[in-house]
Amino acid sequence: MREEPPRDNLRGGAWLIADMSLNIWSLSIVKWLGADYTAFQVVFLRALTGLILIAPLIWKYREQFRRIEDFGLHLLRVFLSVITLTASFFAISRVPLAVFTAFGFTRPVVTMVMAAVLLRETIGPRRWLAAGTALLGVFIAANPSDVPWNLGLAALALVVLTGSSAIIVTRRLRAAPPVVLMTFYTAGLAGFSGPFTAASWSPIAPNHLAPLLFVGAFAQAAQICFLRAHFFGEAGFLSVLSYLSLVLSVSVGYFIFQETPGLEFALGASLVVGAALFVTLRPRIAAQKT
């Protein structure tokens, strides 16, 4: 029988912040590259780089692959992740970074609902209120209604659905060894995207090779942080804390892509930060009083 992993929301939150930072830099590189390469090609190169990086870990912990459980759930997680990542790379070059992040923040709310229904996790009224407040702040900050309809927005809707489902499946697999989860994820991405990449391959410009490799390196490191976050933290807690990614992404948009935030962003970001700090600091304050 599997041993239930320990629950430590503060520790899980620290891992999640590292995950968000690395993912934002990875997506920023993809946005900078624009639509020069298909989403499948970027996914494949990202996966291939990650697979090379974790090859020593796969060899070191090869014994853990002899007792894999829930094989079907692993495959389902890979399939959902392939769709999510491909749609994300397709969308990021077609919509502003702030809007990309804002739409992504509907995913934590969907995840909270799925966690309550499917995983029977208890999510108190304060967290629901914090989630609603943060979600309102997201739409005030990014103001997605000003963005004209395009295929990028349609891809974002798909990201929300499949991404939330992938997180729930990951929660079901939280007792699996991290190296097994990473290997299934990375090898699965390469396997699924490989045929599509071969059919639509575009020659890589010499000055684009290093950035594309960094996409894989950052994303693979983020995957480790993500797995550790969900190993320690509860889905409801991590979902609300992830709203802090809005502040990180808009900061990158300002300094890298010259996207200047307005008054709406200041108001919306204040709501986001306030809600995230509420769920982050409240457990620590309660623990200090006991």
Among the ranges given (77-81, 172-176, 194-198, 237-241), the one the predictor scored with the smallest mean pLDDT: 237-241
Residues 11-27: what's their mean pLDDT?
A: 91
Q: What's the CA gap between 136 and 139, in Å, rounded?
A: 5
CA-based nearest residue to 35, from 232, 202, 157, 279: 202
Fill in the amino acid letter for 266.
A
| pLDDT band at 261; cut points 50, 70, 90 | confident
Average pLDDT, the chain: 83
**Structure tokens given for 163:** 């991404």
| Whether pLDDT at 139 is above 60 | yes
| Whether pLDDT at 189 is above 60 | yes
CA-based nearest residue to 155, from 111, 99, 197: 99
Sign of torsion over alpha carbons 244, 250, 254, 256: positive
Chain centre to alpha carbon of residue 250: 16
Higher pLDDT, 137 or 207: 207
| pLDDT band at 157; cut points 50, 70, 90 | confident
At residue 187, the pLDDT reads 94
C-alpha separations of 247 from 11, 98, 132, 263, 279 in Å:
21, 9, 17, 14, 17
**Structure tokens given for 192:** 């699924």
At residue 144, the pLDDT reads 61
At residue 56, the pLDDT reads 94
Residues 25-32: what's their mean pLDDT?
A: 89
Q: Which residues contact 88 (CB under 8 A, 6 or more apart)?
A: 27, 155, 159, 163
| pLDDT band at 107; cut points 50, 70, 90 | confident
Q: What is the pTM of this model?
A: 0.74
| Whether pLDDT at 286 is above 80 | no
